[in-house]
Chain A
Amino acid sequence: MFKIVAKRQLNDVVTLMEVEAPLIARKARAGQFIIFRVDEVGERVPLTIADFDAEKGTITIIFQAVGRSTKKLALLEAGDSIQDVVGPLGMPTHLDGIKKAAVIGGGVGCAIAYPSAKALHRMGAKVDMIAGFRSKDIVILEDEMRAVSDNLYITTDDGSYGEQGFVTDKLKALIEAGNDYDCVIAIGPVIMMKFVSRLTEPYGIRTIVSLNPIMIDGTGMCGGCRVSVGGEIKFACVDGPDFDGHQVDFDELMKRNNFYRSEELNDTNHICRLGGDVNA
């Protein structure tokens, strides 16, 4: 059992939790993830480690309540425990040698982009961060992101906060204004990562994406998370989750991620009857 030591609501649907996991906190690096199982009947779900503190022995997870398991998790409070937390899994993000980076987060993906920006900032790299949201009311981690980047640009689709537009619009403007990034790190919805990768390809800028396929064990024993990268099969849980955005078959990934949609929809109705108002 893994105790929740702190909980903070970042917006209506995004929750931050600090969880006691001393062994994981000691080993975790930016880009790695954990698998949690909320209770005895729970499924195994991956979440990126948003922060870690070896001295306190805690890791931070930030998640959006989108399905049965994340909704169940969001119902837990500080002092409660999560049944299982396994990690740190996956390969850390390769940040060596990066001097000037653009780190892009889409929505709750900002929570996953944040530790990479933080690690780069600590290494002394120049970091421009572009954080995209649908609208003002779902903006998260603004202070944290600002503290680890040289420039923080916030975009909203509807223009209700920061600049109006998509993260790709901002990235294109920055590149065309002469910013010579040696790496772009993009983390968020698959469609966003696809368009960022498509944008940077003609400029020849190395682009790292963090993929989010369906996972079960997270240790390389099932291949449920397999993705096509450069025409080869890779298991995101052990070979990734970071990959070269110019090599990833994003369309295949989107199709695979939709496989259990009908089961999940049934599930949402199911949990409504059980747990009451968790759909808010």
Chain B
Amino acid sequence: MPNMSPKKVEMPHQDAQIRNANFEEVALGYTEEMAKEEAARCLNCKHRPCVNGCPVNVNIPDFIQQVVAGDYEKAYEIITGTNSLPAVCGRVCPQEKQCEQLCVRGIKHEPVGIGRLERFVADWHMQHGAQKAEKPAPNGHKIAVIGAGPAGLTCAGDLARKGYEVTIFESFHLPGGVLVYGIPQFRLPKEIVKKEIHALEELGVEIKTDMVIGKILSVDEIFEMGYEAVFIGSGAGLPSFLGMEGEGLVGVYSANEFLTRINLMKAYEEGYDTPIHRSKSVAVIGGGNVAMDAARCAKRLGAEKVYIVYRRSEAEIPARGEEIEHAKEEGIIFKLLTNPVRILGDENGLVNGMECVKMQLGEPDESGRRRPEPVEGSNFVLDVDSVIMAIGTSPNPLIRTTTDGLEANRKGCLVVKDDMQTTKEGVYAGGDAVTGAATVILAMGAGKTAADSIDEYVKQKHNA
């Protein structure tokens, strides 16, 4: 008999007043009992709408039934049949907009906690799973992947399972992309990312770090080295600034810089060499997940006041629902319908305030969202000593400007067909490099599609 409780089994959390002073994971995960209880809420529908909501089509009811039966290793096998990074996805996917949005139980009550169950299974495997992934028989073909973020890791994992010899070229000293430099420890522990990447290495994927493609090697040189196809998953790492007065002042960061110092370089931890300035009062400009992450990190570094400055209202805020709730619980102050005008500094060039203007929502624009307009004469100064810009990123031009025949659109995003092939033969691309800044799971879906297309391409070439 299914468990007909209208609500999800609650996930244990660190208390808000304790967690906002540490970087430990906020959500603590289900126990075995909780997982079984939640899994029993799944109706195991015949038409499985949830699967269509997942960009990598995890066989959700199948794995959940294995949780009900208590065979967690079997559940893990089902998930990893289509998803290379389940411990990551269970934690950072916006499930409310994907699998859980289509769950039949969600029509009247709360949907099944699919993300929480996926996380439970992946974590269980990491703790108890004995069996190593078996290395597939090699098919004798070499593929190169540029960028070790979610898109590249997924593409590499899928190709390795098909028997390809895959090499990932990563510019940073650690693989993971946004999973290691962007998303903070309290949302996604780096040990988890490391273990998931290690599982890929066991499949035979080779990762070369410290390799900035476009500088140390060009895409054409990669082909000369004997790789038969290249997947570009270089992301959208170029930060935007508003071009307003005062952005050159000391204490103004891009969210990328702030988060990289904290997450990748561990600036907050004793014993690491990278410095970080401990601010008293911080304004974070923007309303996406990156803005929430930056604000919550600033709070954990000891800031007394942390503001989210967002020009629209709460209804339009693009961040993941759970993160907005968490941020509020942790004491982040939301300055909605507010836009920065200029950043103010003292005689030493240090930030000592930010002038803002109140906004109101006008008529809907082309995107269908109501356009924010400044309210005349409503300017005021926010008392801050640091400003973090979290207003978006675009693709880094390094690869496209050093590769002949690779077309990009006006925004610098690589142009691809449905099968993820770029305008250059044998070169495929996916993730933020193609879409501009989006989500982890969409990048993984693109990596998966590209792996299938690359497989087709190589097979066709050798049959011809």
Q: Which A residues form the contact surface with B (CB < 8 A)?
A: 23-24, 27, 37, 41-44, 68-69, 83-89, 216-217, 219-224, 226, 228, 233, 238, 249, 252, 255-256, 258-260, 263-264, 267
A42 and B215 contact, Cβ closer than 8 Å, known pairs A222-B239, A224-B257:
no
Docked-complex contact B265 and A43, CB < 8 angstroms: yes
Docked-complex contact A216 and B261, CB < 8 angstroms: yes
Question: B386 to chain A: closest CB distance in Å?
Answer: 11
Name A's interface SS: mixed
Q: Which of B167-216 contact A (CB under 8 A)?
A: 171-173, 209-212, 215-216
Does residue B247 face the partner (Cβ distance < 8 Å to A)? yes
Docked-complex contact B215 and A37, CB < 8 angstroms: no
Docked-complex contact B212 and A69, CB < 8 angstroms: no
Q: Which B residues form the contact surface with A (CB < 8 A)?
A: 171-173, 209-212, 215-217, 237-239, 241, 243, 247-248, 250-251, 253-254, 256-257, 260-261, 265-266, 271-277, 348-350, 396, 398
Docked-complex contact A233 and B260, CB < 8 angstroms: no
Pick the contact of B275: A84, A226, A263 (CB < 8 A): A263
User: Which of A24, A83, A221, A267 has the most C-beta atoms of chain B within 10 angstroms of its own C-beta?
Assistant: A221
Docked-complex contact A220 and B274, CB < 8 angstroms: no
Docked-complex contact A221 and B237, CB < 8 angstroms: yes
Docked-complex contact A84 and B257, CB < 8 angstroms: no
A258 to B256, CA, bound (A): 20
Question: B43 to chain A: closest CB distance in Å?
Answer: 45
Docked-complex contact A255 and B250, CB < 8 angstroms: yes
Top 4 nearest A-B pairs (CB, nearest first) are: A255-B349, A221-B237, A222-B257, A263-B275
A56 to B248, CA, bound (A): 42
Q: Which residues of B contact A86 (CB under 8 A)?
A: 171, 173, 210, 212
Q: Which residues of B contact A41 (CB under 8 A)?
A: 266, 271-273
Question: B185 to chain A: closest CB distance in Å?
Answer: 16
Name B's interface SS: loop
A219 to B256, CA, bound (A): 12
A219 to B261, CA, bound (A): 15
Q: Which residues of B contact A219 (CB under 8 A)?
A: 171, 212, 237, 396, 398
A-B contact count (CB 8 A): 104
Question: Nearest CB to that of B275 among chain A residues?
Answer: A263
Q: Which residues of B contact A249 (CB under 8 A)?
A: 248
A256 to B253, CA, bound (A): 11
Docked-complex contact B396 and A220, CB < 8 angstroms: yes
Q: Which residues of B contact A223 (CB under 8 A)?
A: 239, 241, 254, 256-257
Docked-complex contact A233 and B241, CB < 8 angstroms: yes
Q: Which residues of B contact A267 (CB under 8 A)?
A: 273, 275
Question: Nearest CB to that of A27 among chain B residues?
Answer: B216
Q: Which residues of A contact B266 (CB under 8 A)?
A: 41
Docked-complex contact B247 and A44, CB < 8 angstroms: no
Docked-complex contact A221 and B209, CB < 8 angstroms: no
Docked-complex contact A256 and B260, CB < 8 angstroms: no
Docked-complex contact B248 and A43, CB < 8 angstroms: no
Question: Nearest CB to that of B247 among chain A residues?
Answer: A233
Q: Which residues of A contact B274 (CB under 8 A)?
A: 43-44, 216
Question: Nearest CB to that of A215 among chain B residues?
Answer: B257
Pick the contact of B212: A89, A226, A256 (CB < 8 A): A89
A42 to B260, CA, bound (A): 14
A24 to B350, CA, bound (A): 38
Question: Nearest CB to that of A224 among chain B residues?
Answer: B257
User: Which of B211, B215, B396 has the most C-beta atoms of chain A within 10 angstroms of its own C-beta?
Assistant: B215
Docked-complex contact A256 and B349, CB < 8 angstroms: yes
Docked-complex contact B273 and A42, CB < 8 angstroms: yes
Pick the contact of A87: B216, B253, B396 (CB < 8 A): B216
Pick the contact of A228: B248, B275, B276 (CB < 8 A): B248
Q: Which residues of A contact B257 (CB under 8 A)?
A: 216, 222-224
Docked-complex contact A255 and B216, CB < 8 angstroms: no
A264 to B275, CA, bound (A): 8
Question: A192 to chain B: closest CB distance in Å?
Answer: 20
A23 and B209 contact, Cβ closer than 8 Å, known pairs A37-B173, A221-B237:
no
A252 and B396 contact, Cβ closer than 8 Å, known pairs A220-B237, A260-B275:
no
User: Which of A69, A216, A223 has the most C-beta atoms of chain B within 10 angstroms of its own C-beta?
Assistant: A223
